[in-house]
Structure formats: structure tokens, C-alpha cells
Amino acid sequence: MGYEFFPMNQSNGSSSTSPSLVLELHSSAKWRAHLQASKESTKLIVIDFTASWCRPCRFIEPTINEFAAKYTDVKFFKIDVDELMNVAQEFEVQTLPSFVLIKGGIAVDKIVGVKKEELQNKIERHMV
């Protein structure tokens, strides 16, 4: 007999108990819009290139969600390489998981593989 409260970024009826702060992109057009907007911003963007069949990608996913919650001034995006192959090719993604860090519309760093500490260090270095 109580009320159910949802965080502002979680919609009612969601089956997830905690909303992800990582935005999944499913169209090249939406990616281009975010990339264009990043050119006019000083915010760091982290792209998580992943695939549904990639076990290491699933292994590091909770860490990416933790980083997104911790580094609220950084925008986190998730792109499935099978879905947006052209975006993966644009950033020369050949191994999964791969993470590309973008600032001012320009790729400033890239991490390949499950390297939590390296990714965290590079996020902290580039977010300032």
C-alpha cells in the first residue's frame, strides 16, 4: 500500500532495478548527432564498442556502468559493432571490447581489451 518511486532517468515499467547511465546507440544518424554536439563541448565521451556474442564485453559491462555512475561529467555510449559496423570501422575497431575516448569531437585515446585500471586512468586524465 505504498508508492513506488523511480529515479528521473528510469521509466515506469522498467524491468531493471537500476537504470544504466550508458546510452546505447542504434543508428548512425543518432551517433553523428552526438559526435557533432561533442565538437561544441569540452565533455569527454567514452564509446564502448561491444557485441552481444562477446564474453569479455559482458564481463566489463558492470565496470562501465560503475564508471558512468562515478564520472557524471563524462558521457558514456555503447555501440554494437554488428549493428553499427560503419561507426566501428570509422574508429578502426578490430578487437572487442574497445573503448574510444573523444573530446571536442576528436578521438584522444583508445583502449583495447578488458583493462579496467587503464580505462579508468585515461578517463580521469582526459576528463579535465
Class of domain 22-126: alpha beta
Q: Read out DSSP for the chain?
A: -------TTS-TT-S-SS---EEEE--HHHHHHHHHHHTT---EEEEEEE-TT-HHHHHHHHHHHHHHHH-TTSEEEEEETTTSHHHHHHTT--SSSEEEEEETTEEEEEEESS-HHHHHHHHHHH--
Helix axes 55-70, 116-126, angle to 10 degrees: 40
d(CA 70, CA 65): 9
What is the model's pLDDT at position 20? Answer: 72
Cα 17 to Cα 10, 60, 67: the distances in Å are: 9, 19, 18
4-35 pLDDT, tens per residue?
A: 333 333 333 333 445 679 999 999 999 999 99
d(CA 79, CA 59): 16
What is the model's pLDDT at position 5? Answer: 32
65-91 pLDDT, tens per residue?
A: 999 999 999 999 999 999 999 999 999
Q: Is the pLDDT of residue 100 over 50?
A: yes
Q: Which residues are catalytic?
A: 54, 57
103-118 pLDDT, tens per residue?
A: 999 999 999 999 999 9
Q: Dihedrals φ, ψ of 34, to 5°?
A: -70, -40
For the question of whether the overall pTM of this predicted structure is more than 0.85, the answer is no
Q: Is the pLDDT of residue 54 over 90?
A: yes
